[in-house]
Structure 1
Amino acid sequence: MTRKLIPGILAMAAIVVASNILVQFLFGQWLTWGAFTYPFAFLVTDLMNRIHGPGPARKVVAAGFVVGVICSLIGTQIVGEFGPLVTLRIAMGSGLAFLVAQLVDVQVFDRLRVGSWWRAPLVSTLVGSSLDTAIFFTIAFSAALMFLEPANDVSWAGEALPLLGLGPIVPLWVSLAVADWLVKLSLAIVALAPFRVIVTRLTAKVA
């Protein structure tokens, strides 16, 4: 591990740990506090990609994945009111969603790195965030994947309700996914500001 990766690894680890803790606390009806911290993992990945390239960025993603697995293992040992804080389906969904979404983010960013400064981080984050949300919520809560963990009752997630309380009737988990996705999209735009500032400052130091 080279010294240049340490800031990225520490930042990614902090985000993953914080998100795993904050996901236990609700924010309104459709979200948890973790929804507001996790999207910044894409910012870390994109910064590493822009500054050091796709190879180092993938190493930071791998480190974040390992930290996430450790958090999930710890969560399976903590029993809350309704059972373990982390079930097998949540652990599988979380790990797979993180790994696929972040690696796709790296690939898309690298393809778009030449051109307007904002295009690569924005497009890669939008694509990665969409994959992350779709993979996690489908694996964790879709009734079609009950066979992954038959003993885990997620029937509550299938309750038919208006989308975000206003739209067509859909399973509850779809509303949770859409709310999470909208936060990710919003923060993808917000994150462009720190991305620009950090890259400009670090590039100036190198120059």
Structure 2
Amino acid sequence: MTRILPGVIAMAAIVVASNILVQHLFGQWLTWGAFTYPFAFLVTDVMNRVYGPSAARKVVFAGFVTGVICSFIGTQIIGEFGPLVTLRIAIASGLAFLTAQLLDVAIFDRLRGGKWWRAPVASTIIGGTVDTAIFFTIAFSASLAFLEIGNDVGWANEVLPMLGSGPNAPLWISLAVADWLVKMAIAFVALVPFRLIVTKLSPNPA
């Protein structure tokens, strides 16, 4: 456990920071949390490359527990429009994180024998896409309103041009697309720290 403690701490820090920063808008389509959360995939991939999939899964579960605690705290804090974290947000966040991160671990492990960049790129792109799809659909889709009858997400289902200039779609689709684009950009930016950290921690980073 000691060897993966830095990974556990890093994952917990990213989850806590993202839960705080998601409360603050960045432009019209994003929150500041969109720029910190994708680095959870970097932590998972580094742990997977250096210590293997079992260690990576332990780090993922540590992040999941941290997220559950953050969600519980958020439900107890009442903001201008009600609790900072609703039941739908809590379910969406937990399910998206756990599913996407474990998928990331599995894909990375399957591709670990190829070029050094292939496993982190493929696992992060697929994991990040699944994460975005699960979170925004569960949290905001009108078709899942039965999950929390008292939570009005009508604002997220207002039909507007996608990202301000595309075809008409519910607002939450624009939010999801913007979030996904950030995840994809960071997936490639994170290759630099991935290579540097793995090289430092492992004598055989390939």
Query: Once the two structures are superposed, what CA deviation does each residue of 1:5-38 show, in whole Å capped at 9, x if it has no partner?
Result: 1000000000000000000000000000000000
For residues 65-84 of structure 1, the aligned pairs below 5 Å read 65-84=64-83
Give the match for residue 123 of structure 1.
Answer: 122
Which residue identity is paired with 2:135? F
Secondary structure class of the residue paired with 1:170: strand
Secondary structure class of the residue paired with 1:161: strand
Secondary structure class of the residue paired with 1:86: coil
Give the match for residue 63 of structure 1.
Answer: 62
Percent of paired sites with the same residue: 73
Q: What TM-score does the superposition give when structure 2 sets the normalisation length?
A: 0.98
- Name the CA distance, whole Å, in 2 between partners of 1:117 and 1:26: 35
**Cα offset, 1:205, TM superposition:** 9.6
For residues 166-185 of structure 1, the aligned pairs below 5 Å read 166-185=165-184
Which residue identity is paired with 1:135? I
Moved over 4 A (4+): none
Secondary structure class of the residue paired with 2:202: helix
Secondary structure class of the residue paired with 1:167: coil
- Name the CA distance, whole Å, in 2 between partners of 1:55 and 1:87: 32
Give the match for residue 87 of structure 1.
Answer: 86
For the pair 1:26 / 2:20, whether they are aligned, the reply is no
Secondary structure class of the residue paired with 2:160: strand
For residues 150-161 of structure 1, the aligned pairs below 5 Å read 150-161=149-160
- Name the CA distance, whole Å, in 1 between partners of 2:22 and 2:164: 21
**Cα offset, 1:179, TM superposition:** 0.1
- Name the CA distance, whole Å, in 1 between partners of 2:145 and 2:68: 22
- Name the CA distance, whole Å, in 1 between partners of 2:37 and 2:144: 24
- Name the CA distance, whole Å, in 1 between partners of 2:98 and 2:27: 28
**Cα offset, 1:204, TM superposition:** 3.6
Give the match for residue 111 of structure 1.
Answer: 110
Which residue identity is paired with 2:108? F
Which residue identity is paired with 1:126? I
**Cα offset, 1:201, TM superposition:** 1.4
Going from structure 1 to structure 2, the CA distance change for 1:138 and 1:205 (only over 3 Å counts) comes to closer
For the pair 1:186 / 2:185, whether they are aligned, the reply is yes
- Count of residue correspondences: 205
For the pair 1:143 / 2:142, whether they are aligned, the reply is yes
Secondary structure class of the residue paired with 2:54: helix
- Name the CA distance, whole Å, in 2 between partners of 1:108 and 1:169: 34
| Contiguous gaps of at least 5 residues in structure 2 | none
- Name the CA distance, whole Å, in 1 between partners of 2:196 and 2:203: 11
Q: What TM-score does the superposition give when structure 1 sets the normalisation length?
A: 0.98
RMSD: 1.1
Secondary structure class of the residue paired with 1:164: helix
Secondary structure class of the residue paired with 2:150: coil
Secondary structure class of the residue paired with 2:169: strand
- Name the CA distance, whole Å, in 1 between partners of 2:73 and 2:161: 35
- Name the CA distance, whole Å, in 1 between partners of 2:70 and 2:201: 31
For residues 6-45 of structure 1, the aligned pairs below 5 Å read 6-45=5-44
| Contiguous gaps of at least 5 residues in structure 1 | none
Secondary structure class of the residue paired with 2:43: helix
Secondary structure class of the residue paired with 1:145: helix
- Name the CA distance, whole Å, in 1 between partners of 2:196 and 2:4: 19
